[in-house]
Structure 1
Amino acid sequence: MDLFDDRTCKLGEGALWHPLRGEIFWFDITGKRLLSHHPASGHTRDVPLTEMCSAAAWIDRDRMLIASETGLWEYDVTTGVFGHLVDLEKDCASTRSNDGRADPWGGFWIGTMGKQAEHKAGAIYRYAEGALRTIADRISIPNAICFDHDRGCGYFADTAKAHLYRVALDAAGWPAAEPELFVDFAEHGLSPDGALTDASGTLWVALWGAGAVVEVSPEGVLGARHDMPAPHSTCPAFGGPDFTTLYCTTATQGLGPDALAEAPLSGKLFAQLGAGQGRAEPAFILDRGDA
């Protein structure tokens, strides 16, 4: 993968290609910034935030859902105005949001974790039709939230355990069974971070500490690796006009002077043309009348 945007993030995360704007958005969580880059025009954004934000979904051309350490928000891209939707562990000052993604039914899944990655301090929630419900709890570092092409299941990981889980979903997008272990990345000496599924249902999983995105078949078999010159790869996204460009955020968090000298591009956004066949992320449905 090649350098795409040279702005450095302490903890780059939440990469999202906005299909109506032709623009890639991502966050610097601990740096409290929302960034974007429009490849066709070269236009970029670097928006300071008042608290840590980590993940997003698109609603329509000008509105996005954004997850912060205290809530979920409707964000107007053109005005920069945030509108409150629902609290997210607002009374727990020790936690923040982490990985999140819209699901194929128009809901939004969002993970929380301790700000110091405290053991089992986090959870995963689903926000749909105005209600926030717990999907899983006692998770240390929730990541890899993504969904099966045929709506049959969802995936999520606990990076601290290096476990990727699969959970069966019902016709409305809610869990129909207990999560099951899908891939034990610890057996491979790897740590799963953010993930998505492509047009065929293959998972593309960022590997924290390994500087790569790895393909994982719907049967749980690890395949091709897409390397980048930064060890802490965090969140992939497919974009471009035909969804064949693979983007991935990275981080400098936890890297000392020697590691940064060896990987000076850490914290930047990377891209690989023609990596695979992705698809547009589903929209979050704020109002059922928009569906």
Structure 2
Amino acid sequence: MPVTVLCDERCHLGEGPAYDAASDTAWWFDIIERRLFEARLGTGEIVVHALPLMASALATVDDGRQMLATEQGLMLRDIATGALEMLAPVEAATPATRSNDARVHPSGTFWFSTMGRQAEPGAGTIYAYRAGTVQALFPGITIPNAICFSADGATGYFADTAANALYRVRLDPATGLPLEAPAVIHRHRDEGGLDGAVVDAEGLLWCAIWGGARLNAYSPEGDPVRSVAVPARQASCPVFVGPAFDRVLVTSAWQHMDEADRAADPHHGKTFLLDIGARGRAEPRARLGAM
């Protein structure tokens, strides 16, 4: 399987990759070091933006703005200037938590999560931002990850990495909000834990396996379908990129690795492009205000 190192700059905690097809630009975060990476795939140029606070994921709003999930809540970012504007405070008065995973539902509703900074049990919550309002969907999760959606918007997925449980929930396609309680469809029992995920054009869910140096693909029912290697042990999150959405960008991290661990994992913290023989689809844009 062809693998390319997209970025040699090592991320302490690389996470939250996103792809804007209109500009052929990929984005991802180093949460701990408060950095936002911008990769212009057509030219190979990579720009690293310093941030004034921890942020973990973003969604494109329009050609000039992004919505960022941060430790203070949701913020709007001006792409040209980098200026940040508070959109909706979330757990801003709770210093023990920070933002984590996120993805946009086909309706434009933005799902994002929080978690304890030390992964305190049950400290995380998955939220939805819709029509200018933040709504808590699923509280009491330790490490909420793998947020992603079916193409028709009728199904949502997420994981609790600490429990190694993958959940599926039926959604209202028009709103991206749950219609029932989530159900466990898979429990990961091999090495590593379920981390970030994305759904491909065929409906398979591709999930990074933190500590397992892999991407695993699951059917909508949670059955394992494929597994491909990633050149870093702590693979963290995938997203499909490119004009044909035929490559996968995968972030990684060296968080909690000592010197010996890093020496044994020479590509730790780098960001990769993989040709896995699958195609994705364009990520929806997040919608502001009335919907």
Q: Deviations over 1:110-129 (max 9, x none)?
A: 11000011011111100000
- Cα deviation for residue 278 of structure 1 reads 0.5
CA distance in 1, matches of 2:8, 2:14: 12
Q: Which moved more, 1:237-246 or 1:40-49?
A: 40-49
- Are the counterparts in 2 of residues 196 and 236 from structure 1 also a CA contact under 8 Å? yes
Secondary structure at the counterpart of residue 149 of structure 1: coil
Q: 1:117 aligns with which of 116, 119, 137?
A: 119
- Cα deviation for residue 42 of structure 1 reads 2.1
Q: Which moved more, 1:85-94 or 1:267-276?
A: 267-276
Over the matched positions of the two proteins, sequence identity in percent amounts to: 39
Secondary structure at the counterpart of residue 82 of structure 2: coil
- Cα deviation for residue 274 of structure 1 reads 5.3
RMSD in angstroms over aligned alpha carbons? 1.2
- Are the counterparts in 2 of residues 246 and 275 from structure 1 also a CA contact under 8 Å? no
Counterpart of 1:256 in structure 2 is 258
CA distance in 2, matches of 1:222, 1:118: 29
Secondary structure at the counterpart of residue 59 of structure 1: strand
Say whether 1:31 aligns with 2:64: no
Secondary structure at the counterpart of residue 62 of structure 2: coil
Q: Deviations over 1:74-122 (max 9, x none)?
A: 1111111111110010010100000011111101011100001101111
- Are the counterparts in 2 of residues 17 and 239 from structure 1 also a CA contact under 8 Å? yes
Q: 1:178 aligns with which of 178, 181, 190?
A: 181
Kindly report which structure 2 residues correspond to 1:280-291, keeping only aligned pairs within 5 A, or say none.
280-288=282-290
TM-score (norm 2): 0.96
CA distance in 1, matches of 2:170, 2:35: 35
Q: 1:103 aligns with which of 98, 102, 105?
A: 105
CA distance in 2, matches of 1:46, 1:13: 14
- Cα deviation for residue 170 of structure 1 reads 1.8
Counterpart of 2:171 in structure 1 is 169
- Cα deviation for residue 275 of structure 1 reads 3.3
Counterpart of 1:215 in structure 2 is 217
CA distance in 2, matches of 1:107, 1:43: 31
Q: Which moved more, 1:111-120 or 1:36-45?
A: 36-45
Say whether 1:205 aligns with 2:207: yes
Counterpart of 1:89 in structure 2 is 91
TM-score (norm 1): 0.96
CA distance in 2, matches of 1:93, 1:190: 28
- Are the counterparts in 1 of residues 106 and 152 from structure 2 also a CA contact under 8 Å? no
Counterpart of 1:155 in structure 2 is 157
CA distance in 2, matches of 1:190, 1:47: 30
| Structure 2 stretches lacking a partner, 5+ long | none
